[in-house]
């Protein structure tokens, strides 16, 4: 798979997931404004990296991507709700997201909270109602458990709390890694695990993939921190320099830019090593590593 | 079962559910403040009517209550999150709940939103991780689907949006019933359905119980509206007259007090009829009907 083919694959994945959203949201028997508010943020774009990880992991086990569509939609619903709530005035108080006004700017604060709540709640329905002959009840149940762990108090929400409490305070590297492992890492890891569960992967490969996804998640975050300094506002769709302005602890702030870049390369190399050890068809997953290492948005 | 025995049963149910909370929340590997905030609202008391409905339905099929404990905890977590979010400044802006400061008054708005998010997310983990030899994976999966439906965009959240949009507007009886069926009714109905699913009840009995719970839910809400006018502040733990003050459409406001009371009796009678038709050991469920009809808090 060359770079052009990989870009085409990214676009294909995005299309496959976004094609499902109308059926998930627009068809709801719910008040119209709620549907509009959910839909506004769910369809606001984004790289759809989480679905990509689910699909690429399925591919690595020679499985068709269709198996992972409900999980991919569920995880995008969770990711979207977390952005809506993070942007609220009492949280990060952001007016823009991906170049568009944030949900509460358009629909008001109360509706934004409720749209987030609904996306979160309904994601479990989407996940549990997956219909594919290769997906058993016990697999779906494992996905529900893993998603709630990854997104809840011991995962994403816990990380968000730690991030909030760590603001304007100089954090240690250990504290910084705790935040990122939880706030973004665990949901990314869920995606890889979901692919492996749906592919009925053996335990040994699960472990390699779990280690892979931890390194990938940290790399993802370090790249994010670097982009906030060296990135291009237009490509990013958001202003650069906000971390420095808010005196946030980041990898470059803590380690210096060169060491941060070294750390990025380290985690990418480790992630690729895990892939080679896992003995799977890892071509696309490896491409994703490089993509995350080099991404500009 | 006489009234004294029923009161003892209520206390027993409350104890059984509340005994589980420390293991669910305090044991979490999460930032301390998040755990405190979740715990503060989860253990703030309440009648635990939802667990009561799960347990009483299991009893009606001759099943032990232990089977329903995870579902009972999950539904209390969902109910608690909904109260935390409803009380927020951008929603109902309430300072007191059950005589105690509301969550955001103690922990701040951001933490209250996140504690609600975590309770909601983790409720699915609690539900899906139920361990009892009589509870199959397929039962747990049905519970996950039913809970997300009842609590999400087509249930509780949808009802809350409709309620919000209907404020300070004169609603028709139909609009009022839509709000209540969704905002409170569907979660109450979930409890009865959860008991029936866990008892492996046949379809015909499920249908009778579904009708039963719809009537019970409406009766619950009409009694709520009546209590806001005729209730005793001390017994209720909240000020009376707030609906009138906020010009909220209620059953007494729409129909007059006598007709509202008549409607309450009607739904209670219908609920009891469904119980008789269901051909189950309905003694406790019938007691619950009377309890809801006469409750003062």
Residue B274 reports pLDDT greater than 80: yes
pLDDT per residue over B15-32, tens digit each?
A: 999 999 999 999 899 999
Nearest to B34 among A81, A109, A153 (CB): A153
Q: Which helix (H) or strand (E) holds B82?
A: helix B69-87
Work out the angle at residue B50's Cα, subtended by the Cα atoms of residues B47 and B53, and round it to the nearest 5 degrees: 110
CA A20 – CA A17 distance, rounded (Å): 6
Q: Tell me if A21 sits within 8 A of A74, measured CB to CB.
A: no
From A114, A117, A124, residue closest to B144, measured CB to CB: A124
Q: What is the residue whose two structure tokens read 């304007």? A: A168
Sorting pLDDT into bands at 50, 70 and 90, what band is B233? confident
φ, ψ for residue A101, nearest 5 deg: -60, 140
Question: What are the residues whose beta carbons fall under 8 Å from the beta carbon of B245, sequence distance 6 or more?
Answer: none
Q: What proportion of chain B, given as a percentage, has pLDDT over 70?
A: 100
Nearest-CA neighbor of A193 among A231, A155, A246, A235? Answer: A155
Model pLDDT, residue B241: 84
Tell me the average confidence (pLDDT) per consecutive run of 10 residues in chain A, 297 residues long. 94 96 94 98 94 98 96 98 98 91 98 98 97 96 98 98 91 96 98 98 96 98 94 80 85 96 98 97 97 91
Q: What is the mean pLDDT of residues B79-84?
A: 98
CA–CA distance, A247 with A253 (Å, rounded to integer): 9
Task: Identify which of B110, B125, B152 has the shortest CB distance to residue A91.
Answer: B110
Determine contact: A90 vs chain B, CB below 8 A. Answer: yes
Closest alpha carbon to B246 in B225, B260, B262 = B225
Burial letters A206-234, b for 16+ CB under 10 A, else e: bebbebbbbbbbbbbbbbbbbbbeebeee
- β-partners of residue B96 are B101
Please report, to the nearest 10 degrees, the dihedral formed by the alpha carbons of residues B178, B77, B73, B2 taken in order.
-60
Q: What part of A 62-81 touches B (C-beta under 8 Å)?
A: 81
Q: Tell me if A113 and B35 make a contact (CB, 8 A cut-off).
A: no
Interstrand relation of B96-97 and A100-101 (parallel, antiparallel or unpaired) = unpaired
| Chain A residues with beta carbon closer than 8 angstroms to that of B117 | 81, 85, 116-117, 120, 157
Minimal Cβ distance to B128: which of A111, A113, A141: A141
Q: What is the pLDDT of residue A253?
A: 93
How many angstroms separate the Cα of A21 from the Cα of each of A106, A122, A174, A284, B141?
20, 12, 38, 25, 22
Q: What CATH number is attached to the domain comprising B81? A: 1.10.600.10
User: Which pLDDT score is estimated for B32?
Assistant: 97
Best interface-test mutation with B: which of A125, A131, A136 has the largest number of B CBs within 10 A?
A125
For A3, A272, A281, the CA distances from A60, given in Å and listed in that order, are 18, 13, 4
| Residue with token string 């971390």 | A243
d(CA B247, CA B253): 9
Separation of alpha carbons A176 and A12, rounded Å: 34
Q: Do B34 and B114 form a contact (C-beta atoms < 8 A)?
A: yes
List A residues 228-287 in contact with B (Cβ-Cβ < 8 A). Answer: none
Stretch B61-78: mean pLDDT: 97
Name the pLDDT band for B168 (thresholds 50, 70, 90): confident
How would you label B209-248 residue by residue, b for 16+ Cβ within 10 Å and e otherwise? bebbbbbbbbbbbbbbbbbbeebeeeebebebeebeeeeb
**Which domain covers residue B277, as residue numbers?**
3-294
The angle at the Cα of A238, spanning A232 to A244, to the nearest 5 degrees, equals 80
- What whole-number distance in Å separates Cα of residue A253 and Cα of residue B48? 49
What domain count does chain B have?
1
pLDDT in tens, A74-99: 999 999 999 999 999 999 999 999 88
């Amino acid at each position: 798979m060359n770079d052009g083919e990989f870009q085409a694959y990214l676009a294909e994945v995005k299309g496959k997931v976004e094609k499902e959203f109308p059926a998930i949201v627009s068809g709801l028997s719910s008040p119209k404004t709620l549907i509009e508010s959910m839909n506004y943020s769910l369809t606001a774009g984004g790289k759809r990296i989480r679905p990509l990880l689910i699909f690429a992991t399925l591919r690595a086990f020679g499985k068709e991507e269709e198996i992972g569509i409900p999980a991919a939609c569920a995880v995008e619903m969770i990711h979207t709700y977390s952005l809506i709530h993070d942007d609220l005035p009492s949280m990060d108080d952001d007016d823009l997201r991906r170049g568009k006004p944030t949900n509460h700017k358009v629909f008001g604060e109360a509706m934004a909270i409720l749209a987030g709540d609904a996306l979160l709640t309904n994601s479990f329905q989407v996940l549990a109602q997956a219909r594919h002959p290769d997906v058993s009840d016990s697999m779906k149940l494992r996905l529900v458990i893993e998603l709630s762990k990854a997104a809840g108090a011991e995962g994403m929400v816990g990380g968000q709390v730690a991030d909030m409490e760590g603001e304007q305070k100089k954090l240690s590297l250990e504290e910084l890694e705790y935040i990122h492992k939880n706030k973004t890492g665990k949901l990314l890891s869920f995606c890889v695990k979901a692919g492996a569960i749906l592919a009925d992967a053996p335990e040994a490969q699960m472990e390699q993939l779990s280690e892979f996804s931890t390194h990938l998640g940290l790399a993802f975050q370090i790249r994010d921190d670097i982009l906030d300094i060296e990135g291009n506002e237009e490509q990013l769709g958001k202003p650069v320099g906000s971390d420095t302005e808010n005196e946030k602890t980041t990898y470059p702030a803590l380690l210096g830019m060169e060491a941060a870049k070294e750390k990025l390369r380290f985690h990418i190399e480790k992630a690729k090593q895990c892939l080679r050890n896992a003995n799977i068809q890892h071509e696309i997953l490896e491409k994703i590593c490089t993509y995350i290492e080099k991404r500009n948005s």
